Amino acid sequence: DARVTQTPRHKVTEMGQEVTMRCQPILGHNTVFWYRQTMMQGLELLAYFRNRAPLDDSGMPKDRFSAEMPDATLATLKIQPSEPRDSAVYFCASGRVGQPQHFGDGTRLSIL
């Protein structure tokens, strides 16, 4: 079965450091989503892309977060500088218009 691949699976770093999370969407999927999950807020959309163009990043703190799709096989989410409140599980999902989204295993991020 094709899967969305996320790296790293776990990341622990100190506040102030840059964090880069990567996602390889399923081949043929033209829409890529970044979600964040915390106990308090649940699953929230940060940003999403269609055909590599950003469509909505209203859920993302613009001062420290950035999301890009350098090519169709790679999406990145960066946090700089990181803060303890950014600690969460970050999920990438991909899909096609009108089809359900498929999630990656997530990156578990801890900012000390």
Kindly state whether residue 25 participates in binding another protein, applying the rule CB under 8 A. Answer: no
Selected range binding another protein among 11-19, 20-28, 67-75, 87-95, rule: CB under 8 A: 87-95
106 touches another protein (CB under 8 A): yes
Cα separation, 44 vs 87, whole angstroms: 14
Binds another protein by CB under 8 A, chosen from 13, 31, 66, 76: 31
CA distance 94 to 34: 9
What is the total count of residues that contact another protein (CB under 8 A)? 22
Work out how close the CB of 77 gets to another protein at its nearest, in angstroms, rounded to a whole number: 15
Q: Which is nearer to another protein, 25 or 106 (CB)?
A: 106
State the SS3 of 48-102: EEECCEEEECCCCCCCCEEEEEEECCEEEEEECCCCHHHCEEEEEEEECCCCCCE
Interface ranges with another protein (CB under 8 A):
31, 33, 42-45, 48, 50, 56, 91, 93, 95-98, 100-106
